Amino acid sequence: MIIGIPKEIKNNENRVALTPGGAAVLREAGHSVIVEAGAGAGSGFSDDEYAKEGAELLPSAAEVWSKAEMIMKVKEPLPAEFGYFREELTLFTYLHLAAEPKLTEALVQHKVTAIAYETIQLPNGGLPLLTPMSEVAGRMSVQVGAQFLEKNYGGRGILLGGVPGVPPADVIILGGGIVGTNAAKMALGLGANVVVIERSAERLRYLDDVFHGRIRTLMSNPYNIANAVQKADLLIGAVLIPGAKAPKLVSEEMVRQMKPGAVIVDVAVDQGGSIATVDRVTTHSAPTYEKHGVLHYAVANMPGAVPRTSTLALTNVTIGYALELAGKGVTRALYGNPPLKLGVNTYQGHVTYPAVAESLGLPYTGLDSLLPIS
């Protein structure tokens, strides 16, 4: 198979879909890897490193998209890339289609087989291709929150961990999954008071055990959320429903009750956001806006700010699935790999992931009814 790696064009997105080491693995398996010149520069990987591993460097994105049978990316295609779509193309990337009606329409119209990293799901419910970026984003949410709490960035002027004789900041985390757990680790490590709000009693018990009671846990309900949000110096939205829009757990009225200069970091913004006042997506070049006296950080590609770490972590988990898709061909790979099957969001002009169809009000078609008989 010919696998194409274009340069990411999203604002300040410095990650790349494949490291030179990943290219070497695919080449050793007998596949061709074509890389747009400069694609790895933001992550610290030179064109020479890719060439050394046998990848072919091409000067433009158009050439990569037109020659590749499967495109591997990091972020969802932007409108400038829709013109590259065609039937028989497989797209393997983060998609978050529940918040992307125009992209979904384009994928369906051009009959692209679109496989989303974030909806590949193991039998135990784990999301293996989303997990490393959730770990990065969870840890970053506390780093950026601590920074924007500084007065010169518009925050309250609070040191997250306080000092002896002065209380630390109150960090409220909505969601106790991978993002929330990693945010709690960082916030606790910096000495903050940490509260995690989660709807699963089993998950709350797990968090209480692993943190040895050093964080507070609350069951998710409107009453607990409203009371906790009012006390927050830093509020982190860490809610995920695979493939679907994030539920709005924090109302605008709750935000109005927050302390002046408090900070919100909504990691769920790429799924529509879990906080009502997160009504726009920001970028690394202009990451925040103020509403009701509260600073909002709503960058949809947070791990793009630490691209070296993120690219290495992403390739670690995507390479096995890429080898399967390339080695067996898409159809055979899907038959033999149920978690990979769950990653297919569009196929032959149909939306094949139910949460995406429901979120966008589009018809849903089960993938099994579209695949050829094995």
State the burial class of residue 361 (Cβ atoms within 10 Å of its Cβ: 0-12, 13-18, 19+).
Answer: exposed
Catalytic: 212?
no
122 is known to lie in a ligand binding site: no
220 is known to lie in a ligand binding site: yes
Cα–Cα dist 215/305, whole Å = 28
299 is known to lie in a ligand binding site: yes
324 is known to lie in a ligand binding site: yes
**25 CB neighbour count, 10 Å cutoff:** 18
192 is known to lie in a ligand binding site: no
Phi, psi (degrees; rounded to nearest 5) at 17:
-75, -20
141 is known to lie in a ligand binding site: no
270 is known to lie in a ligand binding site: yes
205 is known to lie in a ligand binding site: no
300 is known to lie in a ligand binding site: yes
75 is known to lie in a ligand binding site: yes
166 is known to lie in a ligand binding site: no
302 is known to lie in a ligand binding site: yes
Catalytic: 96?
yes
Query: Could you say which of 170, 233, 266, 270 is catalytic?
Result: 270
Structure tokens at 211: 């943190």
15 is known to lie in a ligand binding site: yes
280 is known to lie in a ligand binding site: yes
267 is known to lie in a ligand binding site: yes
State the burial class of residue 181 (Cβ atoms within 10 Å of its Cβ: 0-12, 13-18, 19+).
Answer: buried
Q: Which of 243, 238, 188 is nearest to 216 (CA)?
A: 188
Query: Could you say which of 96, 110, 296, 350 is catalytic?
Result: 96
| Residues in binding site | 15, 75, 134, 203, 220, 239-240, 267-270, 280, 299-302, 324
| Residues in binding site for substrate | 15, 75
| Residues in binding site for NAD(+) | 134, 203, 220, 239-240, 267-270, 280, 299-302
Please identify every residue annotated as catalytic. Answer: 96, 270
| Residues in binding site for Mg(2+) | 324
